[in-house]
Every structure is written in structure tokens, then in C-alpha cells.
Amino acid sequence: MEKLNITECRIVDQGLFQCPSAGLFQCSITGLVFRMEGEGEVLYRTVPWDRRLLAQSGKRPAGPLFKFTCLNGSICQLCLPHCEIYPGDGCDFLSVAHVTDDIIEFLDPHEITETHIIINITGFSAYGLTKDKEAPVFPIKALVLLFHRPSDDPELESVLYVLLLPRNVVLMKVQEERARRNGLRETFIETTSDCELTPDQTYSLSTDGYHQTKKFDTDKDYENYTTTFEVSLPAKVKKAELTLKKKKNIAWSTLDLLSSLFVNPPLPAATPARPPTFPGRDFITKHRIALETRLGLLQPILLHLEECKVLNAEEKEEVDSKSTKTLQNQALLDMVVRKGARAQEHFYQVLKKVNPYLVEDLEEQTV
């Protein structure tokens, strides 16, 4: 298997990928690679797998499921990152799922490199890697991710959450999901995380005063990002060595694990929060007339707003159904304003990502 030769790479914003010319371009967040026939823009995001559809075909996920929209230009190849380590060139158990609504088809790879599965494409919707349920079990490239939750009382134990995940998960999505579930008190620990692990095999994690054994289960790791080990750390501990083993063989370890967590003193008790401010509300009020005619491409804005639950599919279709661009803009602004300050703030933040020059120009006019 030859290593994929990426000639250029450029990531513009989360989910919005711009390619200035023909060639290969890689997203630094997801590891996706696009072969463009010319200049273009691609909008994409991860979406949940329909495991019922996969199970009916004897398949299971082997990577995230990505939903794509090509805003401009044309893509002729898509390269999806994988985490397999082959004992030779055997790869018959891998395929790419092409998902459109409730229809799923499985595409044979055009080529497999050390890092990516390459397919030729002519249309869009959703693509993701799958593996036969009865595929042989080989070691895969994996990650050991650590999240630390300090105690509110420095005299009490803190908790270290250890996640064993395939390496082709989207790390940013893991961090976002952990933050959504557990709030901002949990800290992601930057450390060497790469290793090789064998699915469905048992691993033991140990440190001073702690030893636990769990199975490396990859069945739902591309969506749930569940904790594998939960380690209670003694109060005021300054140093710890963490070791992951399969039987007597060390699969991963880190030394002086906690030193970075105690560089700064513990956070003081939280002060009463100030009422939140929403600059987005003022922005729409001040620039409503200009926004009705200058929003530019609506699709990336609508997709982002749908993803963060500001709009639903029916509301998005209602905006799309308007006969002119100005009427579409007006309909979108009306919906956002009716939903209140938080929806207007989401709209403002999305517009700053998708059309930063417009926001900058409008805000300069009010300085």
C-alpha cells in the first residue's frame, strides 16, 4: 500500500472547506482528503449512522459518517481516513457506505493507502467507512484520550476519564460531545495518545492504587465516545504514571501524567454569573435592511443553523421555497428573530464563520 501523496491542504472553517485550484486537499480537523477538478467549496459535517440499515447488510461502522454538500466546483475523488493495520494487503472486509435518505449502497474502494480509503464519486449525500460484521480481528491504530475532572474541594479526590477509541474518530467531535455532557469543568489532557489496540480484546489500566480491566469495544465509538476507565485520583497528587497493558505487554503508557494540571493553583470558587449578553441581537437589529440583500450563499448558513438546532428541516425548506433571494433572506431573518436572543446569537456566530467579510464591513459602518 502506497502512502497518499497530498500536494496541498487548506482548512478554512469548521465544516467549510475551500480549494483554490485542482489537486488534493486535506482537512486538518477530520483527516478527509478531496481530489478537486478545479476551484471549489465543500460543506460537510458528521451525522449519526443508521445501525439498522447497516445490520441488515451485515455491516458495522469503521469510521464516522460524513454528509457533504458541494457548493461550488467539482470533486472527483474522496479519501476517507481509516485505522486498519493489515497483515499484508487484505482488505476485502472494508467498504464505503453511500447513504441517501433510507437507501444505502456499499462501494468497493478504488484504492487503499496506509491511511485512507479512496473512492471515485459523482454525487453527494453521506459517505462513511464500514466493515463486515464477521471481519477478521486485527490490531488497529487507536487513541488513548484523557479527560480530568477536578473536585470542587481540593481535599477530595478528582477523577480521570480514560477513553480508548479508533484513531479515525474526529477528535474535535469527541471534545465537543464531552463538553456538552459534562460541562467546562472537565479538562482534556494533551499527551501522547497514539497506540495499537485489538478490538474485543481485554486491556488493563493501572496506576498507583488503581488497577482495572476492560474490553476494547469499538462497536459504538464513532458516536457515543463512552468512557472506558474511570480513575479516582487522591487529593493533591502531583505525579502519576499510567500504563495500559494487554496481558503483560505494554500497549501505551505516560509518565508524570498530572504535572501539567498543577502548574496553576486551583480555580477559586465560582462567582455569581453575569447575565449573558447577545451581540447577535443588536447586530440583526442594526443591519436588518443590509442583511436582506447581502447575505450571499444561503446554503452554508442554513446547514449550520439546522445543525445547531436553530432551524428544523421544514423551516429550511420554507426559506428555500421563496421565489427570490431577497425573500429568502427576509424569511430566514424573520424566523431567527422570532426565536429570540439565543437564536439570533447563533445566526451571528454562523455568519461570522461563513461570511466574515460581510460582518466586518457592516460592523465597521457602525464604529
| CA pair distance 105, 119, nearest whole angstrom | 13
Is it the case that residue 365 has pLDDT exceeding 80? no
Q: pLDDT by residue (tens digit) across 314-352? A: 888 889 888 888 889 988 998 888 888 888 888 998 898
Express each pLDDT in 8-31 by its tens digit: 344 433 456 666 777 787 877 788
Is 90 exceeded by the pLDDT of residue 166?
A: yes
Q: Residues with Cβ < 8 Å from 272, sequence gap 6 or more?
A: none
Q: What structural domains does the chain harbor?
A: 16-132 (no CATH), 140-262 (2.60.40.2660), 279-365 (1.10.533.10)
* H helices present in 92-199, as ranges: 171-182
Average pLDDT of the chain, as a whole number: 80
Which three-class secondary structure state does DSSP give residue 314?
A: helix
**pLDDT value at residue 267:** 39
DSSP 261: G
Distance CA 231, CA 158 (A): 8
Residue 153 confidence (pLDDT) above 60:
yes
Gap between the Cα atoms of 11 and 25, Å rounded: 9
Query: pTM for the complete prediction?
Result: 0.67
Can you give the pLDDT at residue 140? 92
Can you tell me the distance from the alpha carbon of 316 to that of 335, in angstroms, rounded to the nearest whole number? 10
Phi, psi of 84 (to 5 degrees): -80, 150
Q: For Cα atoms 198, 199, 203, give the angle at the middle one, nearest 5 degrees.
A: 65
Q: Is the pLDDT score of 1 beyond 80?
A: no
Q: Are 184 and 143 in contact (CB under 8 A)?
A: no
> Residue 355 contacts by C-beta under 8 Å, 6 or more apart in sequence?
295, 296, 297, 301
Cell of residue 22, nine digits: 485542482
**Which residues are CB-neighbours of 45 under 8 A, at least 6 positions away?**
15, 66, 67, 303, 307
Instruction: Choose from 9-18, 82-91, 298-307 the range with maximum mean pLDDT.
Output: 298-307
Longest Cα separation, the chain: 69
Position 108 confidence tier, pLDDT thresholds 50, 70, 90: confident
